[in-house]
Amino acid sequence: MISNTQSGTNVHEIADGIYRINTPVTLPGAGQFNFNQYLIVDDAPLLFHTGPRRMFPLVREAVGLVMAVEKLKYVGFSHFEADECGALNEWLAAAPQSEPVCGKIGAMVSVNDIAERPARALADGEVLKLGRHSVRWFDTPHLPHGWDSGLMMEATTGTFLCGDLFTQGGAGETPLVESDILGPSEAFRAPMDYYSHAPNTTAILERLAQERPTTMACMHGSAWRGDGAALLRALAGRLHADQLRLQDATGVARPVQSRAMPEAIEA
Ligand SMILES: [Fe+2]
Ligand SMILES: [Fe+2]
């Protein structure tokens, strides 16, 4: 369903009670791109990512097609960056009962200063009950970027709110695909590398893979359905290969973690 014909903002249910809001944009010099937010409709509704501040009217209009905006309870996001949380205070004003939801680092270094209300700061592994849905927070420092980075898994639908992982360029016009997204997202990453390439990347991806998500709610591009563990391990393999190439080129010693790669990723 299109919520705004001028911008092309559209809303689709990609898992039971989970709605993807997509807005295509044209970036100067970089062509078509897209921003997605995910709305979990439940007793305590959660919006994961606010969208950039200037996009707030479009995202609010889209949320309003699905539920009463003022009933929103949680405004969650992965890390402190404009497309993740630029419209945080606008949402806090629009939904007077709502709280920011982020990790402990995010609350400490940014959110509890910037936001109009204090954050509900989740510890690594903490579960937030929304009603029949619940989300678990995973600290993912520097994955793909930001010390404060974390991501959420929704338990009942197996949906991984995977933020900037698997970012695909273009308009993201197809809400949910089962075809390969690693190829398109790696094609995007090659010229616009947005990863921190930190030494903990492989271990974090393996921990997320062990949750066996079945839907990837990508922040940029189509959401995806399939074997999420295999997809996450495939991404870990690509990143690890990059790391080895870089180390071979620079002569810098490999971190201990790269010698402890799980066999599945080495293969
Ligand atoms: Fe980001
Ligand atoms: Fe993003």
- Name the percent of the chain lying above pLDDT 90: 87
Q: Give the pLDDT of residue 248.
A: 82
Q: Give the pLDDT of residue 27.
A: 86
pLDDT at position 267 over 60: no
Q: Band the pLDDT of 254: cuts 50, 70, 90.
A: low
Q: Would the CA dihedral through 59, 63, 64, 66 be positive or negative?
A: positive
- Residue 108's alpha-carbon distances to 8, 46, 81, in angstroms, are 36, 21, 15
| Residue 248 CA, ligand 2 centroid: distance in Å | 30
- Residue 156's alpha-carbon distances to 82, 195, 228, 232, 234, in angstroms, are 29, 29, 15, 20, 24
Q: Band the pLDDT of 185: cuts 50, 70, 90.
A: very high
Q: Give the pLDDT of residue 263.
A: 44
pLDDT one-digit tens code per residue, 32-64: 999 999 999 999 999 999 999 999 999 999 999
| Residue 84 CA, ligand 2 centroid: distance in Å | 6
| Residue 143 CA, ligand 1 centroid: distance in Å | 9
Partners of 175 in the β-ladder: none
Q: Give the pLDDT of residue 257.
A: 47
| Residue 167 CA, ligand 2 centroid: distance in Å | 8
Q: Give the pLDDT of residue 255.
A: 53
pTM for the model: 0.93
| Residue 79 CA, ligand 1 centroid: distance in Å | 7
**Terminal C-alpha separation, the chain:** 42
Q: Give me the mean pLDDT over the 171-195 stretch.
A: 96
pLDDT at position 143 over 70: yes
Ligand nearest to the CA of 149: 1
**Spatial CA neighbour of 170 closest among 222, 238, 240:** 222
| Residue 164 CA, ligand 2 centroid: distance in Å | 5
pLDDT one-digit tens code per residue, 194-239: 999 898 999 999 999 999 999 999 999 999 999 999 999 999 999 9
| Residue 217 CA, ligand 1 centroid: distance in Å | 14
| Residue 254 CA, ligand 2 centroid: distance in Å | 29
| Residue 77 CA, ligand 1 centroid: distance in Å | 10
Q: Give the pLDDT of residue 246.
A: 81
Q: Give the pLDDT of residue 264.
A: 40
pLDDT at position 256 over 90: no
pLDDT one-digit tens code per residue, 70-117: 999 999 999 999 999 999 999 999 999 999 999 999 999 999 999 999
252: left (phi over 0), alpha (psi -120 to 50) or beta: beta
Q: Residue 39 — φ and ψ, nearest 5°?
A: -110, 120
Q: Give the pLDDT of residue 243.
A: 86
Ligand nearest to the CA of 79: 1
| Residue 163 CA, ligand 2 centroid: distance in Å | 6
Q: Give the pLDDT of residue 157.
A: 98
Q: Which residues contact 250 (CB under 8 A, 6 or more apart)?
A: none
For the chain, the 3-state helix, strand and coil shares in percent, each to the nearest 5, are 35, 25, 40
| Residue 235 CA, ligand 2 centroid: distance in Å | 17
